Amino acid sequence: MSSKKIGILGASGYTGADAVRLLARHPNAEIVALTANTHAGKSMGDVFPHFFMLDLPKLVEWEKVDWSKLDAVFCGLPHGTTQEIIAAVLEANPKIKVLDMSADFRLRDKNTYAQWYGHEHRALELQGEAVYGLTEFYREKIASARLVACPGCYPTAALLALVPLAKAKLIDVDDLVIDAKSGVTGAGRGLKQSTLFSEVGEGLSPYSVGTHRHAPEIEQEIGVAAGHAVTVNFTPHLIPMARGELCTSYVKLNGATPDDLRTALEKAYGNEPFVRVANKGVMPQTQNVRGSNYVQIGVFPDRIKNRAIVISVLDNLVKGSAGQAIQNMNLMFGFPETAGLEQIALFP
């Protein structure tokens, strides 16, 4: 298969950089444009020294890219800045494939978006066009899409664990508690006091308690699976490591057993290339998936009657962001879905 010409918006952020890392070894991708307005003129090796061995384009302002010559663009810009830029890119090249790793097109309802993000959506037509990019559940729609809204890291971990159970009506979707913990890269690369080493090291801290913007995204997709609107209790935490995410979901059973949940997950993911259901009694761990596009899910009985605990782990920068975006790109171009993504986890 011929290579596709790829651009990456926001290549100096963590998600953009991981997209570079993975696409640089993709058999069907050629990186031809990298943007980062604050680092324009620099090489990727200047911004991220671990890229010193790669021959990559210089970073430029996004306005200086000739988008008409590209086949696909990955967007790793912060939410709120993406809508108008993607609209401009699509105006310049209506045939380009867009993989948006920001939050700007994930929520389908314009009022929900405005409520959680504090401003009206500025590209409503594209919001209606965007396909939610959770690969395992929207594969056919993604394959024919022009604009894919790649899920957030927390929603990916939670939804892969819970959606099959909600669809099978094995759990009470009106009684869900989701406790999630992420490495500090999940908070982005911008300089903030809360993510300084001395603030994060040797500690564990919740953040955005009751107000995290991934909550409505989780509710949206579990609601689709359940067939009615739901509300979840979701609390994220930062843990003192760079990458990795562990999501613990506490569920009430609808006349089912933990073994029934495991069986449903095994059925849902038996043919999936990147989702693995752990054997009974095996604890999912972030080290099992670090640096890879894999997800590991485990099911455990709770000591409380009629309840169970579902644990899922992923790398927040790979399956939780750039890796899933590349998985979706593969579908959009008809490449093997696993192309460029079969890295084994880094251990230790």
Report, as residue numbers or ranges, the catalytic residues.
Answer: 153
Find the helix or strand (DSSP H, E) in which 137 lies.
Answer: helix 135-143
What is the residue whose two structure tokens read 């050629």? Answer: 30
What Å distances lie between residue 204 and 17, 191, 237, 247, 337, CA to CA? 26, 19, 7, 15, 36
With beta carbons less than 8 A apart as the criterion, state whether 178 and 234 touch. yes
Residue 136: which of 341, 310, 331 has the closest Cα? 331
- Structure tokens given for 90: 């699509």
Identity of the residue numbered 11: A
- 20: tokens are 């570079």
Cβ proximity of 97 and 329 under 8 Å: yes
Distance CA 300, CA 259 (A): 8
Distances (CA, A) of 16 to 21, 168, 315, 327: 9, 36, 15, 15
Is residue 243 classed exposed, middle or buried when 0-12, 13-18 and 19+ CB atoms within 10 A define those classes?
buried
Q: Determine contact, residues 7/73, Cβ cutoff 8 Å.
A: yes
Helix pair 214-226, 153-167: axis angle to 10 deg: 20
The enclosing H or E element of 187 equals none
- Indicate the length of the chain as a whole number: 348
User: b or e along 29-51 (b: 16 or more beta carbons within 10 Å of the residue's beta carbon)?
Assistant: bebbbbbbeebeeebbeebbeeb
In a 13 Å sphere around the CA of 140, the CA atoms on its Cβ side amount to 0
